Chain A
Amino acid sequence: MFLQLTLSGVSQGAIYALIALSLTVVYRSTTIVSFGHGDFVMAGAFLTYVLVVAIGIAFLPASLIAIVAMFLLGVAFSRGLIGPIRGGPHVGLALMSISFGFTLRGIARTVWGREVLPMPRVFDIDPIFIGSVVITGDALFIISIVAVLLVVFFTVLHFTDIGKMVQAVYQSERGARLIGIDVERFHNFSWGLGAALGAVAGVLIAPISLLHPDLGASFLIKGFAAMTLGGFGSLAGAVLGGLLLGVAEQYSGAYIDTTLIDITAYLLIIAVLLIRPRGLFGRKVVVKV
């Protein structure tokens, strides 16, 4: 029972980790909290759905196309809508991000109404039994994809020159300009990467959940809860926070009350802010909104 719950929690948490990481990528590079990020997740899932169901492309190529498309959309958003107001008040940047998210949501809604769309099953991997623990094909798929992505992400960040340049921009934007880095282009790329990572999360949840235009909202909150728990702005903290949140939801649902699953994220945010505002790996708690 306990192991089974932990496994489900990690599988769910892997998605939260990805979303929290994608939010943090944007936040660390641009200091903007991307309030529209849940809708990038939704758009990634919907795009995959359209490509698979309406156009008939296989799931893997469809998801790759969706992820690349979301990367380009993120870059376009940064160049077209954030770029012109960068340097302005922070609340304007946050509002721009919210408005763009709701626009994506609106587009999804005009096309699909309020229908809830089931995605055809993609992976018919037989579940694996280890003792009394069942590992479903979906869980295996999600956990391994996220694990590979995280290993690649953190290896690049810490052990390559490109990663060192990214850290450099994070630590001093002026310093980065002094060594000839095109910081505006870096911001655009970060929005693209953030949107693409969010889209990966969307692709991963598409086959296992019902799709609807508002699904981004709850994932956004899970992402914020994971960031808060891990320490707002910390990349590793976002990942750990996501995994812990996933597991916490399962435990509280099973051992206390199933209704708790839905509000674990909110309770966690409240508790962390009161008890340890800087989270597990907290840097400064200054969040400009």
Chain B
Amino acid sequence: MHDVLLKITDLHVSYGKKAILRGASFDVRNGECLTLLGANGSGKSTSMNAICGFVKPVSGSISLNGTELAGKGPHTIFKQGVAQVSQARDLFPDLSVEDNLRLGAMQRGKGKAAQVLADIYDRFPRLAERRRQATRTLSGGEQQMVAIGRALMSSPLILLLDEPSGGLSPQFCEEIATIMDQLKSEGVTMLMVEQNLNLAFRAADRFIVLRDGQVVDGGDVAAMAGDHDAIVRNIYL
């Protein structure tokens, strides 16, 4: 028996009349990294945004440690301990790196903020060097580090990562993977969307596949080791 942290049950999400999620169900267990796979436009970001309250589900349940999140506002869900690193990053471009990070702890985790900030600078020495720089002057990879750092500042119970390697060089992907390994060894629960299968399978314990608005497949990464081709066929064909 694993204890489940986040339980999604029969989730329906639409934009106007267009149904994107049609009864998706899955669990995220405490301390694991679950990777959400699926073709472009299959509703991966939509799932993340529904969990965070950016889009209101039509029906279904999103429960965090037994607390219902569906229908609540984004700020309420954030305070419950759900933080997202979004696909577009959504940083504050004219504020300094340090301000971007510190702001991450304003609404949650303020007590531990100084300690977490020091940890983040340990983890990302490049950010420590650039702490006074406006965030818009950073490279894409560095900005992704700020986005991850900002989300960690709130000491979330679960971290949602929407394509953390998106648009980054292999070298940066490697850095991101290293960070995720560290986070996992510290017991941070993660739900990740990732198109880069090497990264997806390196960091993840389990994966699920989203298709036609439902979760159609899933499994243990360890059990599938070496058989990426089968998974790729499953997702994209």
Contacts and interface: CB of A to CB of B under 8 A. Distances in A.
Nearest to B78: A180
B106 interface: yes
Contact of A167 (B74, B92, B104, B108): B92
A181 B93 contact: no
Interface residue tally on A, bucketed by range? 10 to 19
A79 to B, nearest CB: 14
B106 A179 contact: yes
Interface in B56-82: 73-75, 78-79
Interface in B77-97: 78-79, 83-84, 86, 88, 90-95
B92 A168 contact: yes
B26 interface: no
Contacts of A180: 74-75, 78-79, 106-108, 154
Contacts of A184: 73
A171 B95 contact: yes
A182 B79 CA distance: 11
A171 B78 contact: no
Interface residue tally on B, bucketed by range? 20 to 34
Interface string B134-161: 0000000000000000110010000000
Interface in A178-192: 178-184
Given A161-B106, A164-B103, A171-B95, 9 more contacts: A164-B95, A171-B94, A172-B91, A175-B90, A175-B91, A177-B74, A178-B78, A178-B83, A180-B107
A164 B74 contact: no
A179 B107 contact: yes
A182 B108 CA distance: 13
A165 B91 contact: no
A174 B103 contact: no
Interface string B86-122: 1010111111000100111011100000000000000
